[in-house]
Amino acid sequence: MSEQLPSRKVSRHTFDWLEVESRCWVERGVLDESARTRILSEYDTESLPHRGTMALTLIAVLMCAIGILLVIGYNWERIPPAVKVAMILTSVAAAFGGAAAAYARKRHTLGEVLAFAGTLLFGNGIWLVAQVLHIQGHFPDAFLWFAVGSLVAAFLVESVAIGVGAAILAGVWIISEASFYPHVIYPFLVLWPCAVWVAYRLRSVLMIRLLGLTASLWIGIATANEAHMDAWPAAVVLAGCALYAIGRWHEDDSDMADGWRVSGLGTLLLIIMPLMVSGLYDDIAQDSPISTIVITSMTALVAISAIARSARIPGDWAMLGAAFVAASWSALVWMGLFKPGWWFGTASTVAFSGVSLMVGVAFIRSAFRSNRTSDLVFGVLFGLAFLVVRWTSVIENLLWSGLLLLVTGGGLLFVARQWLRRDRSVLVGRAS
């Protein structure tokens, strides 16, 4: 006998859709009833809680935890230090012990809720134990260990909610580290790959999106200079292109690929707007440390080589062009060929404005080929980013300002009409 494969966990909405569609397939003669039964048996919804119920339960647990902490805090000064530490450790052990017992009894929702509460108590305990024992340390490390503990818990209990929390904590840790001064945060090189591996184990697209944005944030902080402006914005542009390139390593219809693409395009969208403003380049220097050059070069290599190898749609070529512009701009700055001045600011503004417009047009075109709404959304957003920055530069001239808005509005109406026609043609094709 062949070994039975483990059931895949899907949402109830997806399972209900599959159940209805498979019944139609049986009626059309595409499947027989026994095949339909085997297909449905490969998917499991019993162990997945309803999203609304889970969200309300997690919020309730969070409120109760805050309430308990406030009650304890009211009498905190009267409690002996040994009792305080014992209370903290006992609460964490009780929460995770209860989660283990719930999972053993197949009560997955309760187990996940208790594990989520345990991670909150664990993070709270880091600060409380430090306070009780008067431990002085580097405060961002508390967020680091909170993220590590949450990541381990997410892996052990296979909880997407805890995994998303761990990804958020990783970002908070990076931001808190940057509050001192920009520098290369080396522990991130260990934490981030582990978090990505956990995200793939959980099949969490949201974790991938958050971790992608966190990686871009890390690159920006690692390549920035606190004394003056340098080539770090171009490094962030390359980070967005590299994240997009990672998505191209997957199948086109993969959810994980969509997570990488969204994080890459989101990174590029956030950084491209300030790069279109010429005033950003007034205080720029060429003395970048070797770490900045290495990080930027490696990011450029990943972005350019990966996208060039798998480029198929206009959006791919546009991201490849953005990577070339950012890499070339960084190289020219490092070589001292671009020096501060009005012409340098103008040339840089024109280059990155062209990147924004090119990416916007390319992804609108890609949307009609790939049938992905996200491509259309990002194409429009990049176009609007170009519009907003250029409009503010001519806002005092009513004629040019009005013409720019009229042209943009007409372009958006044309895109909307074409998208509507495409939807109608797709529906007609499905009906036939």
Give 319-342 as a DSSP string: HHHHHHHHHHHHHHHHTT-S-SSH
In 179-289, which residue ranges form alpha helices assigned H by DSSP?
Answer: 188-202, 205-223, 232-248, 255-275
**Residue 334 contacts residue 271 (beta carbons within 8 Å):** no
Averaging pLDDT over each range in 35-44, 122-131, 207-216, 308-317, which range is the top one? 207-216
Distance (Å, rounded) from C-alpha 348 to C-alpha 184?
26
CA proximity to 319, closest of 302, 331, 332, 304 = 304
Q: At what angle do helices 232-248 and 205-223 cross, to 10 degrees?
A: 150
Average pLDDT over residues 45-74: 64
- Residue 18 or 72, more confident: 18
Mean pLDDT of 265-290: 80
The pTM of the whole model exceeds 0.75: yes
C-alpha to C-alpha distance for 367 and 378, rounded to whole angstroms: 10
Segment 262-267 shows an average pLDDT of 93
**HSE-up (13 A, CA, CB side) for residue 243:** 31
Which pLDDT score is estimated for 95? Answer: 84
pLDDT of residue 431: 47
**pLDDT for position 397:** 58
What was the pLDDT predicted at 170? 93
**Which tens digit of pLDDT belongs to each residue from 281-292?**
776 766 677 878
pLDDT grade, residue 429 (50/70/90)?
A: low
Max Cα-Cα span within the chain: 78
Interatomic CA distance for residues 425 and 408, integer angstroms:
26
Over range 221-249, report the average pLDDT: 82
